[in-house]
Structure 1
Amino acid sequence: MSTVFGPPSGRALVRRYYLYRATLSVGFITPIFTLFLLRSLTFTQVGALSALYSVLSVVGEVPTGYIGDRLGRRASLLLSVLFTVGSLAGFILAEGFLWYMFLYALWALALTFRSGSMDAWLYDTLEERLETDQFSHVRGRGDAVQSWIAAASMVTGGLLYGLEPTYPFIAAVLFNSLGFLTLLSLPKNRQYAERDDTGPDRLGPLEALLVVRDKLARPPLRSLVLYLGLFYAVLGVAHTYVQPMSIETIGPYATGLGVSIPVGGATAAARSGEVGAGLALGLGVMYAALTVVASSGGYYAGTIEDRIGVRKALLIVPIVMAVAFLMPLWVALLALPTFAAMRTAKPLVQPIANGYINDHVEEVGRATLLSVVSMFYMMLRAPLALGAGMMADSTTATMAIAALGGLFLAAGGTIWLFGEVAPETETTVREGSSSPTS
């Protein structure tokens, strides 16, 4: 299908990849999603949905990563778009905990079909047409493009929610459906375009498991995967509480600007319908501003890797994020830099970490291995989501996020001290790294 657009050069292909990343944005629903759920759910139920999402992602990661290695990365990404659009459409039509469980299951499938295949497709494509030392640059700038598009749509999403809570989801369905077209403009990786399913380089299920065991049971990936899993899990759970934490910490200051803040907390406000147009729009503007700041993380990921190296980047960024989680307990207005750190950390770390992982696994089985890395993250996220939900119900969302930060400092520090996280090896020393093609 990609030939419809002509045989793409390396530079043109990178631009098409950026266009695909733009269609992954869910900015229309991001600033209001938790409030949307709290119309009929408690924090504990929201945490249970997040835990369910994590468990289903764990169950699905290896099979969907195997499908990505077996059928092709682009086919896997097309399935991801299908499940994403289906889940978003469901939120327009259905309401209630049981329905939301089903929609979260679709969302989990969407993630698992994309998690390993997207980076595996990019790495293999760069290897075929450009140079793999550009992976962190191109991947990071793809994150930045996705963030910029998200920021542009977040303000609109907040405004639409103030008019009717389902409007942001309608906009998201229309926008994310464009992902089908952008994917069809991307070529298959060469091994899938030139070989059939009986080719010698296709993995069987047993071979896929052997690749996973061989790579993750020993350094340099063993401690790294555990450390990253904890980092991504803490960060993923914390994102759920940004909207209620905003009302708790920044809300009292917003009244001076003429924005009406409901009494009774985020749950009471969402259920009573008191989240008016002004507050919803304010959340959209705040998210958009933070997302623009966060885009610098992905945009400069390659530069930071070149300057300080993989190991230092993976140590410094998560620690700064965890400390930022604790600060709003003492100074409420520090919630804003906390949100900025929260949104910047993963776009900064993920391209660097995934580039390191890609450097240590062969072309065959790459999507499977990256899916297993995501599986570890989801395994850790499930209990954290339940625990944070119960803590937020019994205390505050601000306290729940602070507890997550403290947990990472303790557990992540232990892994770093007693493990061997991202040691420098011959495959990670990249000489003569050039500027990204964009």
Structure 2
Amino acid sequence: MDATRKQLESNIWKYLLYEISHRRHFIPILAIYFLTLPNTTAHQIGIYAGLGYLASFLFEIPSGYIADRIGHKKTLVIEKILMTLGLVAFVLANSLPLFIVGSVLMSVGFSFHSGTGSAFMHNTLTALRREKEYTKVMSKLLANVSIVSAILVALLPFTTTISIKIPLIINIVFDIMGLFVVLSLTPPPQQFAAAPEKFSNLIKTIHRAAKPGFYMIAIFIGILGGYMFGVGPFRVPYLEVLGLPIIYVGLVMSLSRVFWFLIGHNAHVLEEKIGVKRLLQWDVIIFPSLFLLTTLFTNPYIVGTIFALITGYFWGRRQIIINHFFASCITDARYKATMVSVANQIQTIFQFVVAFSIGYVMNVSYRLGFMVTAGSLFVVLLNFVPALKRIK
């Protein structure tokens, strides 16, 4: 085994460490930390979060294109620097402006990660002639990351008793370690580099790199992801209304990582036995049904477990879909990050639509809101059933 192959194989365990450093374990307490600062209000949470969402939206596709142009490793280095600076801004913040800076930097960092990591690892496995193992390798890798994340999230209530800044400082340490890990990655051979061309040709590049089935699947999973993240902010308030003590919110999040771990470790079996076509067809039933179940129980622990299952299943099976994108939906392998970013951008659009539209219903009743979520998601996804039958 030559040195280059050993270096490429080391990318797998290094990427595991990188993904651990990428997780933002402090997110559940970020708004609480913000409100401890002088002269801050709950309304301002929407300001810094909204500007962060806007930055993510604007940079989503360009960041993927840049990654394919300058190299995925370089882009991951940029991502780690942005994430670290964003965290430093949060820790140093004493008012809204620095929180806005932190939110924007973190959101842009997420954009540079989106699609880039998957493309880098797919190219690595392709160079090792193990591309058929992509789902198995990546699903297990990210499943293991989810368990580490579950432990760190569960520890949040204990670390915040020392100082509410401690979780952020821990993440800064992780980010610095992650930066050194990324710098040690070995880029796959040059054949995966995108050809030099003007940035103005981005739309033409996307059109050229997309196979006919790309947009159908991208819109389908975009709608599904849009619903997942669009109603995400309403889950904790709903659980609190049902009577879940706030201290157990972290445990619900940790449980979702446990489900992710279990499903992720068996994702390759789902891919082999069921296939992406049947998996997406099942999604038409599974996700609306699970959302509906959250409205049929009043026990917050049962509802919290269902929410955890929804999240764990969504992320646990995700690499099956990403692998299908790379293998069957993209004509030009040099633009993998770009095309995944396109799919993520579609998801972001639907996320905005869902959050604003169903948000009005949530103001009336959380239970009614999740009923509308289940019903509307089923009706929308049902329209894709004929198209899903054409997947090979």
For the aligned pair, the TM-score class normalised by the smaller chain equals 0.7 to 0.9
TM-score by length of 2: 0.86
**Residue equivalent to 2:373:** 404
Q: What secondary structure, in the 3-state scheme, does the structure 2 residue paired with 1:329 have?
A: coil
Partner Cα distance (1:344, 1:399) in 2 = 23
The counterpart of 1:32, out of the listed 29, 32, 41, is 29
Asked if structure 2 preserves the Cα contact closer than 8 Å seen for 1:248 and 1:398, the reply is: no
1:173 and 1:364, CA in 2 relative to 1: closer, same or farther beyond 3 A?
Answer: same
Match of 1:313 in 2: 279
Residue ranges of structure 2 left out of the alignment (5+ in a row): none
* Counterpart pick for 1:22 among 20, 23, 30: 20
| Equivalent residue for 1:210, pick from 204, 207, 216 | 204
Q: Distance in 2 between matches of 1:363 and 1:74?
A: 16
CA shift, 1:337, in A, is: 2.8
Give the aligned partner of residue 56 of structure 2.
57
Instruction: Write the deviation string for residues 133-154 of structure 1: whole angstroms up to 9, x where unpaired.
Output: 1111122112202201101111
CA distance in 2, matches of 1:391, 1:58: 25
Letter paired with 1:287: M
* Change over 3 Å in CA distance of 1:305–1:227 after alignment to 2: same
- Quote the offset at 1:22 in angstroms: 2.1
Deviations 1:180-230 (A, max 9, x none): 02212211121189x8xxxx83444255422311344x6311211111111
Partner in structure 2 of residue 254 of structure 1:
none
User: Which one of 325, 350, 358 corresponds to residue 291 of structure 2?
Assistant: 325
SS in 2 for 1:87: helix
Report the CA distance between 1:31 and its aligned residue. 3.9
Cα distance per residue 1:100-122 (max 9 Å; x no partner): 44333222211111112111111
1:106 maps onto 2:105 in alignment:
yes
In the alignment, which residue of structure 1 is the partner of 2:354?
384
Report if aligned partners of 1:317, 1:349 keep a CA contact under 8 Å in 2. no
Name the CA distance, whole Å, in 1 between partners of 2:29 and 2:241: 15
Per the alignment, residue 258 of structure 2 pairs with 292
Equivalent residue, structure 1, for 2:182 = 183
Match of 2:317 among 349, 359, 362: 349
Asked if the contact 2:231/2:354 (under 8 Å) is kept, the reply is no
Task: Go from structure 1 to structure 2 and tell me whether the alpha carbon gap of 1:246 and 1:332 turns closer, same or farther (over 3 Å shift).
Answer: same
Which sections of structure 1, spanning at least 5 residues, go unmatched?
A: 252-260, 262-278, 426-438
Match of 2:222 in 1: 229
State the AA in 2 paired with 1:210: K
Deviations 1:63-82 (A, max 9, x none): 21121011100111111112
> Cα 1:159–1:367, aligned 2, differ >3 Å: closer, same or farther?
same
* Closer, same or farther: CA 62–181 of 1 in aligned 2, 3 Å: same
Match of 2:364 in 1: 395
Q: Aligned partners of 2:12, 2:348: CA distance in 1, in Å?
A: 29
Measure, in 2, the Cα distance between the counterparts of 1:48 and 1:31: 17
Moved more, 120-129 or 91-100: 91-100
- Whether contact under 8 Å (1:85, 1:176) holds in the other structure is yes
CA distance in 2 between counterparts of 1:88 and 1:406 reads 39
Residue 100 and residue 400 in structure 1: after superposition, are their counterparts in 2 closer, same or farther (change >3 A)? farther
Distance 1:308 1:6, change over 3 A: closer
The aligned amino acid for 1:374 is: N
Residues 31, 243 of structure 1: 8 Å contact kept: no
Alignment of 1:248-267 (within 5 A): 248-251=241-244, 261=245
Work out the CA distance in 1 between the residues paired with 2:97 and 2:360. 19
Aligned counterparts of 1:48 and 1:345: Cα–Cα separation in 2? 31
Contact 1:241/1:401 (8 A) holds in 2: no
Match of 1:186, SS state, is: coil
Paired position in structure 1 for 2:388: 421
Between the aligned partners of 2:378 and 2:143, the Cα distance in structure 1 is 27
Aligned to 1:375: 345
Q: 2:16 is matched by which residue type in structure 1?
A: Y
- The residue type equivalent to 1:109 in the other structure is V
Q: CA–CA distance in 2 between the matches of 1:300 and 1:312?
A: 16
TM superposition shift of 1:98: 5.4
Which letter maps to 1:154?
Answer: V
**Conserved in 1, the CA contact under 8 Å of 2:258 and 2:312?**
no
**Quick one: higher RCO (CA 8 Å, sep 6+), 1 or 2?**
1
The aligned amino acid for 2:183 is: L
1:329 shift after superposition: 2.4
CA offsets, 1:78-105, max 9 Å, x none?
1111222222333323366655443332
Change over 3 Å in CA distance of 1:403–1:51 after alignment to 2: farther
Counterpart residue type for residue 269 of structure 2: T
C-alpha change, 1:219 and 1:52, in structure 2 (3 Å) is farther
- Alignment partner, residue 86 of structure 1: 85
The 8 Å contact of residues 329 and 402 in structure 1, kept in 2 or not, is answered as: yes
Equivalent pairs, count: 384
Map of 1:12 onto structure 2: 10
Whole-Å separation in 2 of the counterparts to 1:95 and 1:386: 30
- Alpha carbons of 1:341 and 1:286: their partners in 2 closer, same or farther (altered >3 Å)? closer
In structure 2, what residue type is equivalent to 1:298? G
Question: TM-score normalized by structure 1?
Answer: 0.78
Bigger shift: residues 107-116 or 10-19: 10-19
The verdict on how the C-alpha distance between 1:319 and 1:99 changes in structure 2, with shifts beyond 3 A counting, is farther
1:338 maps to which of 279, 297, 306: 306
Q: Do the aligned partners of 2:67 and 2:74 also contact (CA within 8 Å) in 1? A: yes
- For the residues of structure 2 that align with 1:391 and 1:86, how far apart are their CA atoms? 37
Assess, with a 3 A threshold, how the Cα gap between structure 1 residues 157 and 388 changes in structure 2: closer, same or farther.
Answer: farther
